[in-house]
Amino acid sequence: MELIGGLPYLVRQADFDDAAGIGRVHVEVWRAAYSDILPDDYLSSLSDIRHSATWADILDDRKRAGATFIAEAEEDGIVGFADCRIERAADDAKKGEVTAIYVLPGWQRRGVGSALIEACAGHLALESVQTLAIWVLELNREACRFYEALGGESAESRRISFAGEKLTERCYRWDDAAALAGLGDE
């Protein structure tokens, strides 16, 4: 693997063969990020195999509206991923959403998350999407700080029930997906 720009990882669009690595990262990050938020029995029930199968189905769907990007390191394989699409709750093809973004704890604060957000924003901007949203559990303070550092504006919140818990999700929005992707006018 030839890495670009001296970074210790490469960001690229995922393909079907990446499903197992994405499933592994998904489960590992959930167990780390939500250990003080979700019940232990729920987190211990998460399965790399089930998550890998889910991602295989997603990546194999030729009619899917959206894209998945991975960050891949030469020695560690997939160290993070993000998924994006037209915003699920909107009836407007100009509104995009990052539906998932997870980076292994050992790779956080190394630019991986920012690069994945940029890849999603760029993909959506090239599809004529103008805005970007992401929903995050409000108790995941580290993720909230990350989105705020990227310029996301806290827009709204909603109550959800998940894993037997009543939780609040917060939405962060960016008004200019192209600018977030570094595709602005120069």
Confidence (pTM): 0.92
CB 69 within 8 A of CB 14: yes
> For residue 72, which of 121, 129, 13 has the smallest C-alpha distance?
13
pLDDT tens-digit series, residues 49-77: 999 999 999 999 988 889 999 999 988 99
Angle at 128 between CA 138 and CA 94, to 5 degrees: 50
* Amino acid 179: pLDDT: 93
In CATH terms, the superfamily for domain 10-130 is: Gcn5-related N-acetyltransferase (GNAT) (3.40.630.30)
Task: Work out the percent of the chain whose per-residue pLDDT is above 90.
Answer: 85
pLDDT at 186: 47
Closest-CA residue to 108 (of 75, 77, 142): 142
**Side-chain half-sphere of 117: how many Cα atoms within 13 Å?**
25
Sign of CA dihedral 142, 147, 151, 154: negative
* Distance between CA atoms of residues 174 and 132, nearest Å: 5
Q: Which residues contact 184 (CB under 8 A, 6 or more apart)?
A: 176, 178
pLDDT at 23 over 80: yes
Mean predicted confidence (pLDDT) in 93-100: 94
pLDDT, residue 92, reads 81
pLDDT at 185: 56
- Axis crossing angle, helix 48-60 with helix 19-33, rounded to the nearest 10: 130
Once rounded to an integer, what is the mean pLDDT over residues 164-171?
95
pLDDT of residue 1: 47
Domain ranges of the chain: 10-130
For residues 107-133, average pLDDT:
95
pLDDT band at 91 (very low <50, low <70, confident <90, very high): confident
Residues 41-50, mean pLDDT to the nearest whole number: 95
